[in-house]
């Protein structure tokens, strides 16, 4: 967890966007982290959630809007 926090902080410092966009992205990410996926094996399927998250239409529209500013 400490490494994940340090990595997140580094990306925030490195990024050129305002902190607000990160809050907006976080809200979309929370939606995916709370999903319950089912499969033939017992798993939280967190990697699948991450992959689905980066392909999220709302996320991609947010990024396009912010990049165009």
| Per-residue pLDDT reduced to its tens digit, 5-36 | 999 899 888 888 888 888 999 999 999 999 99
Query: Which of 1, 49, 69, 61 is closest to 25 using CA atoms?
Result: 61
Say how far residue 49 (Cα) sits from the centre of its chain.
10
What are the backbone dihedrals phi and psi of residue 13, each rounded to the nearest 5 degrees, phi first? -65, -35
Distances (CA, A) of 49 to 13, 31, 32, 46: 25, 10, 6, 5
Would you kindly state where each structural domain of the chain is located, as residue ranges?
17-68
Task: Identify the CATH number of the domain defined by range 17-68.
Answer: 1.20.120.1620
DSSP 36: -
Average confidence score pLDDT of the chain: 92
Q: What value does the mean pLDDT take over residues 46-55?
A: 96
Percentage of the chain modeled with pLDDT above 70: 97
């Amino acid at each position: 967890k400490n490494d994940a926090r340090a990595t997140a902080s580094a990306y925030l410092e490195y990024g050129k966007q305002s902190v607000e966009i990160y809050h907006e992205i976080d809200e979309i990410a929370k939606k995916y982290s709370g999903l319950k996926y089912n499969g033939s094996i017992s798993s939280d399927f967190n990697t699948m959630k991450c992959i689905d998250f980066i392909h999220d239409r709302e996320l991609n529209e947010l990024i396009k809007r912010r990049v165009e500013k």
